[in-house]
Structure 1
């Protein structure tokens, strides 16, 4: 007996199936979105300092409102002195 045949016989299960499908697809899409972002650390052995490769002009949040980035002079001098 297939899933669709069961849903047609027991119509009260249709809302449950829809809610479960939406929840599972939302969880899967958020997991794929999280692994694609550069600020999520999955493997620290190959890239121990992943924050060095983050572009400051690309927003890192899901929703960014009025974000402006300015370089910190002290940090820039320390970074140039250590390299």
Structure 2
């Protein structure tokens, strides 16, 4: 039987299919969105430390409220000492 023939015979499956399709599409799109972030490392050989190139003034979350970035003095000292 064809998929659409089954849906015609059993109409109660239509809302279930819509919900499942929406959920699968949302999960797939969020996975792609998460992979495109600069914090995610897919290829370590090309860029072993991608967090060094991230601009701290640009918000990276889906929703950012009152974000202020201040450098931590101890980390800045450690960074200067290790370079």
TM-score range, shorter chain: 0.7 to 0.9
Q: TM-score, normalised by structure 1?
A: 0.80
Q: C-alpha offsets along residues 10-38 of structure 1, whole Å, 9 cap, x if unaligned?
A: 10111110111011101110011011111
Q: C-alpha offsets along residues 30-71 of structure 1, whole Å, 9 cap, x if unaligned?
A: 011011111111121211111001110111222111110012
Query: 1:79: Cα distance to partner?
Result: 3.5
4-13 or 73-82, which deviates more: 73-82
Q: Specify every segment of 5 or more residues in structure 1 that has no aligned partner in the other structure, as ranges.
A: none
Q: Specify every segment of 5 or more residues in structure 2 that has no aligned partner in the other structure, as ranges.
A: none
Contact map agreement 1:38 1:50 (CA 8 A) in 2: yes
Residue 3 of structure 1: aligned partner: 3
Moved over 2 A (4+): 1-6, 71-83
Superposition RMSD on alpha carbons, in Å?
Answer: 1.9
Q: TM-score, normalised by structure 2?
A: 0.80
